[in-house]
Amino acid sequence: MKARFFYVICSLVLLATACLIYGFYIEPRRLVLRTVDIESASYKGTPLKIAFVSDIHIGGAPIFSEKVNHIVESVNAQSPDIIMLGGDYINGHTERRHHTSAFNSEIEKGLLELENLTSKYGVYSVIGNHDRWYDAEWTAQYLNQLNINVLENQAYNLGALCIVGLSDFDTAQPSPEAFNGCMENAVPLVLTHSPDAFRYLRSDTALALAGHTHGGQINLPLIGRRVTATEAGKPLAYGVKLVNETPVFITAGIGTSILSARFRAPPEIVIINLQ
């Protein structure tokens, strides 16, 4: 009886150790390419291949400029029509002026890699909560200099589509007035950082994209994706969902926050085939 109990305890300790090693050192360094097909009732244009990347968290282990270069190469290899970046390019909660010059230099090097992103119709982005804590104005200006269109409560008309960027729900204020910039008959394709902003979607939105949740980051069996840092919680933690009949997608993103670990929520680049 004692021997059996000893073996059970040893097995549990080994299992826990293996999970910790995997969660802290293996899964955060993976990069999954996920393909999703989405049919939209309101979009009548030609099929679009959208590359969606969010929550890179440059400066947080293990995300440095070399990893961003790998992300960029992986995205470009898919030859997307449009590239969407969902915010939180930068890691941490500290203002830029309080960081060391070495950290700020690493941030600039990592962001500079994003300049190499290429697609048929351009690269579009929003600002995340971590970017705003770091320096939202600096981040937006830097990205714009890299030919990345930053849309903060703004719209960009692109033929039959109108790309609408809604500001972050937690650290700014998403504004439905952003849709006023859409030309008549142009269908909105919405990009925002947090799925909490989905409450502002226009009824004819073709698709809405968000990150922020990291897919729960730690996705435990039976418990699921508990920690999302959103009001919406588990229902909008990850994947393809419907919000008032509008298709939305929430990505697990790439980096980590608070805890430098992931479990059953691997870093991902998402290719969405919209039709």
**197: CATH:** 3.60.21.10
Residue 18 makes CB contacts below 8 A (sequence gap 6+) with: none
Residue 20's pLDDT is 87
Per the domain annotation, does 20 fall within a domain? no
Residue 2's pLDDT is 66
Instruction: Using 70 as the pLDDT threshold, list the residues of the chain that sit under it.
Output: 1-2, 5-8
* Share in percent of the chain as helix, strand, coil (round to 5): 35, 25, 40
Residue 59's pLDDT is 93
| Strands laid side by side in the 32-38 sheet | 32-38, 268-274, 48-53, 82-85, 123-125, 149-150
Residue 242's pLDDT is 98
DSSP assignment letter at 26? I
User: 96 lies in which domain range?
Assistant: 31-274
Residue 170's pLDDT is 96
Residue 96's pLDDT is 97
Per the domain annotation, does 42 fall within a domain? yes
Work out how many domains the chain is built from and give that number. 1
Per the domain annotation, does 261 fall within a domain? yes
